[in-house]
Chain A
Amino acid sequence: MKHLLILVPALALLAEPALANRVFVTNEKGNDVTVLDSETLEVIGTYPVGNRPRGITIAPDGSELYVCASDDNLVRVFDPQTMEEMHTLPSGPDPELFVLHPSGNPLYVANEDDNLVTVVDVKTHQVLAEIPVGVEPEGMGVSPDGGIVINTSETTNMAHFIDTETFQIVANVLVDSRPRFAEYNHDGTKLYVSAEIGGTVSVIDPATQQITGKITFEVPGVLPEAIQPVGVRVTNDGKKVFVALGPSNRVAVIDGETDEVKDYLLVGQRVWQMAFTPDEKYLFTTNGNSNDVSVIDVAAEEVVKSVPVGQQPWGVVVAPN
């Protein structure tokens, strides 16, 4: 017991100096990426990354940064340390959002104009498959075990379950109008799919592919049509779900167990995508119309700061190291 008493504060001390991570924000109109420091919350630099950068993600080991350059019709790969372009990946036309397999390879890219999901090997830079999906594919999610990739099609209003071994659609779930984003909780027992026009988040049981619940939103003083759920993020313990509500300028905090809305946090204008720091201390939100990033203290459920970035921030990712 005595040893434990000594050990616990010692561990706490070890954990205390939280290492700063780099936060990467794509600016859709600025054609660049703004890099922030996750501790000081200050801008480190801005780097050009090609035309109309939107989706952004990073390798699990932090070695490669992937950016959907939508108007260049390819994915650009950067060294996250130097922001030098390393190479490009074929992505199919108009890549908007993508998701990386939990192992770091391959990359699943939604091609908005071609109704396809393109699977790209990030090592060989080869297209492994093109999977036809519904009209206007956008949202991409991957199950924690990597067995299933979810694509949402904005016009067909479906979440497509794609087997990552066979590249075949194994199930389709009809959700509300204009699904934008799909996110699993970390034990893979729940799948959240946001519907921008429908104004809801469907909670799906991935095992049965049935909708088990629907989260609706109501913000006092905000018109219902301004409440447009897009980005969804779930904490590792599954207890808190954050949903970006677009032009209502709010991020909803949801109890991950009961799926009930606990609070609405005021952020910048037209909030779409979000990303946690690896320690889940902060959640960064991209506010496309006010050209800034709001920083949410996850434990306190409070917005601590809004930092100006480039023009029309769209996607955000935090380096794992």
Chain B
Amino acid sequence: MTERRFPARAWFTAFRGIAWRETLRFVQQRGRFLAALVRPLVWLFIFAAGFRAVLGLSITPPYQTYVLYEVYVTPGLVAMIQLFNGMQSSLSMVHDRETGAMRTLLVSPFPRWFLLGSKLMAGVIVSIIQAYTFLAIAWFWDIRPPAWGYAAVFPALVLSGLMLGALGLFLSSAIRQLENFAGVMNFVIFPMFFASSALYPLWRMNESSPLLHDICAANPFTYAVELIRFALYGEMNWLAFGVVAGCLALFFGGAVFMYDPAKGLWARRKERG
């Protein structure tokens, strides 16, 4: 396919169309918004409250002093919101493919990377609204990062949201049926979440099992969590930034490749068909 040139307005219209559809889907499914909030809140109110005495305390950067477990786990839960959101977009891609809405999208004359990128961006916007709502509720639970941390975390949320969304897109290209989504839950979301620095600092993992520590240190989700954690306290974690940006490029590149009709999944389908 040769790329045609479009006026800037046309690009914007296309982006708005995709983003609007995603927003509508989000707004109209109030249950989804609630579910997206309930999940981290349950972790915060019940899990963290119960575990704060058991898991003990630690000083680990960016914290300057001892923090309650609730405070430690909050950035991890923000990243969890984005992880689920990314997987949700992956689910909606599979759904779109089954219902045929995907075809409408992909026959558009815009380049594929732009269409996928728009969809990704739309998902990220939704996840950021969820993340800030969660942080606002956490504020009333006495989890109060410095005021400027709320601004500093925004770019971090965009980047980590894009990375996790891109992962979802990439995975969606490999899932043929909606039913397989449960597999994604078990094989992607849970291991990614638990084997990361979201729930425990890495040094604590190292105390119990060096292997587990290495697994956590190789998990891109760990770096999304740390990027958000440092940003929330007004600090920059360059390693986390690098890993998240690198993974974003990798996953998004993979997704664009897989959704290319001439290559990836579609090519495989043709071969079989």
Q: Which A residues form the contact surface with B (CB < 8 A)?
A: 220-222, 249, 266-269, 294-295, 303-306
Contact = CB atoms under 8 A, between A and B. Distances in A.
A294 B65 CA distance: 7
A207 to B, nearest CB: 39
Contacts of B66: 249, 266-268, 294, 303, 306
Max chain A C-beta neighbours (<10 A), residue from B52, B57, B64, B65: B65
B53 interface: yes
B59 interface: yes
Contacts of A295: 65
A249 B57 contact: yes
B65 A304 contact: yes
Contacts of B67: 266
Contact of A306 (B53, B64, B68): B64
B65 A306 contact: yes
Given A221-B49, A221-B52, A304 B57 contact: no
Contacts of B65: 266-267, 294-295, 303-306
Contacts of B52: 221
Interface centre among B52, B66, B67 (most CB of A within 10 A): B66
Interface of B: 49, 52-53, 57, 59, 64-68
Contacts of A220: 49
Contacts of B68: 266
A301 to B, nearest CB: 12
Nearest to B68: A266
B64 A305 contact: yes
Given A294-B65, A304-B65, A306-B65, A221 B57 contact: no
Nearest to A222: B53
Contacts of A305: 64-65
Nearest to B52: A221
A304 B53 contact: no
12 contacts: A220-B49, A221-B52, A221-B53, A222-B53, A266-B57, A267-B65, A268-B66, A294-B65, A294-B66, A295-B65, A306-B59, A306-B66
A220 B68 CA distance: 12
A2 to B, nearest CB: 35
A31 to B, nearest CB: 25
A294 B67 CA distance: 12
A289 to B, nearest CB: 11
A217 to B, nearest CB: 16
A74 B59 CA distance: 37
Interface centre among A249, A266, A305 (most CB of B within 10 A): A266
A265 to B, nearest CB: 9
A313 B52 CA distance: 25
A222 B49 CA distance: 11
A176 B67 CA distance: 31
3 closest Cβ contacts across the A-B interface? A306-B65, A305-B64, A303-B65
Given A267-B65, A303-B65, A306-B64, 20 more contacts: A220-B49, A221-B49, A221-B52, A221-B53, A222-B53, A249-B57, A249-B66, A266-B57, A266-B66, A266-B67, A266-B68, A294-B65, A303-B66, A304-B64, A304-B65, A305-B64, A305-B65, A306-B59, A306-B65, A306-B66
A269 B58 CA distance: 10
B259 to A, nearest CB: 49
A291 to B, nearest CB: 11
A268 B68 CA distance: 11
A303 B59 CA distance: 12
Contacts of A268: 66
Contacts of A267: 65-66
Contacts of A222: 53
A292 to B, nearest CB: 8
B256 to A, nearest CB: 46
A305 B68 CA distance: 14
Contacts of A303: 65-66
Contacts of B64: 304-306
Nearest to A303: B65
Nearest to B66: A266
Contacts of A221: 49, 52-53
Contacts of B53: 221-222
